[in-house]
Amino acid sequence: MASEQAGQELDKKLFGNDFAWGVSTAALQIEGSCGADGKGTSIWDTFTSKKGKILNGDKPTTACDFYNNYREDIDLVKKLNIPNFRFSIAWPRILPKGEGEVNQAGIDHYNKVIDYCISQGVEPWLTIYHWDLPQALEDKGGWTNRDIIGWFTNYVQICADAFGDRVKNWMVMNEPAVFTGAGYFLGIHAPGRMGLRNFLPAVHHVVLSLVAGAKLMRKTLPDVHLGTTFSCSHIEPYSDRPKDIAAAKRADALINRLFLEPILGLGYPIEVAAIKGIQKYFKPGDEDNMRFDFDFIGLQNYTREIVKYSFFTPYIGAILVKAEKRDVELTDMKWEVHPPAIYHMLKKYDSYPQIKKIIVTENGAAFPDVVTGDTVDDPKRVTYLQNHIQQVLKAKQEGCKVFGYFVWTLTDNFEWAEGYHPRFGLIHVDFDTQKRIVKASGQWYANLLG
């Protein structure tokens, strides 16, 4: 009953006229057409072809076929009263080898998507890098190779030149902590590398590339609204024992502070032993090239984590207490449903004076969906969105500098290592027929924004 009450109280007017409402997607997860029209191979094309890496052996080959269905999907964005549509550019679609010859068909495709958004009165928000590194660059070391700073800025320049005359809102990168942590430390995401010897250089080169790309964007397109996005989880210690409290602080440094703080000019949180080794990858002048004054920071939050001390966990001496062992409500991702987490993270980001403006660039939930005829009733997702948006409002009303909220995601899609199993969309997709059905949650969001 409380959530229904919260939903009734929600009114977009309470957020002000300058609050950006939207929905977020990513190229690899929705486009399909992996080899079409000159597109090169990405690390995810390679990774998903390896046995046992992706749930059910799923591949992003077709996904939601957004590459061919973009008009229909953008029409649905408009129909749902969503004014802002965030999507990403696939680096291998623009540069099949990651550098060198530009694939004009790729440029043409994104021009068509951008132009169609604008023709429908939908504002395009572009993410330049959302995890799909060209395989040709991974073959040269990927993010562990310092040369990637040049490869990345070259790619950024091409995007700025091609799309900057119409796109006013840009994000340089998506969730660096996830694509480095899962891809270069744990090996559970592409490219599947493991260990600190891969992770630490990747972290440092990502920070340097992010800032170099942002500086180039600022120089090329001085008037655009420029940001970048960070994943975050609200972290609480398992108990009030000093060892658990200290473990939670170390986990917070790794999960929430590792990328955000250097960008803000505060340096890496090297008080954590695992992170200290990053200093050996520094070259003279790097400190000056690690910070940038973004117009906004994108905050992406889904849950909280409970952390306790662990003698047996190398590097960090901390482990997450799994949500399924804590008798809490879970999403299909086995993440705890804990709406106050987004409030706490907004307050945490707001406490940094260097951050001018926060936009929630992703928040949402995967729950099992049941299709009945042409309807999908998803009350858990509706409640999740209501309660999280309510927490955003609470933070805003307390003076927090939050100026936008984007739902993850528009359509059910390819959810990385989890394949097609978790459904996050406001719109249900039958992956065999590509039929779309707006879920009850999509209709709820449309009514909020209508």
Say which of 175, 236, 261, 415 is annotated catalytic. Answer: 175
Place of tokens 């052996």: 57
Place of tokens 């993850």: 408
**With contact defined as beta carbons under 8 Å apart, do 330 and 318 qualify?**
no
Say which of 138, 236, 336, 362 is annotated catalytic. Answer: 362
| H/E segment holding residue 394 | helix 379-397
Q: Is residue 305 flagged as an active site residue? A: no
Q: Is residue 175 flagged as an active site residue? A: yes
Question: How far, in Å, CA of 282 to CA of 395, rounded?
Answer: 38
| H/E segment holding residue 251 | helix 242-252
The tokens describing 374, both together, are 């042409």
Rg (CA), the chain: 21
Helices 66-79 and 104-119, axial angle in degrees (round to 10):
20
Place of tokens 């500098």: 401
Q: Would you give the distance in Å from CA 85 to the centre of its chain? A: 14
Question: How far, in Å, CA of 288 to CA of 87, rounded?
Answer: 31
CA nearest 12: which of 74, 83, 87?
83
Angle at 181 between CA 63 and CA 201, to 5 degrees: 120
Helices 2-9 and 379-397, axial angle in degrees (round to 10):
60
The residues that are catalytic are 175, 362
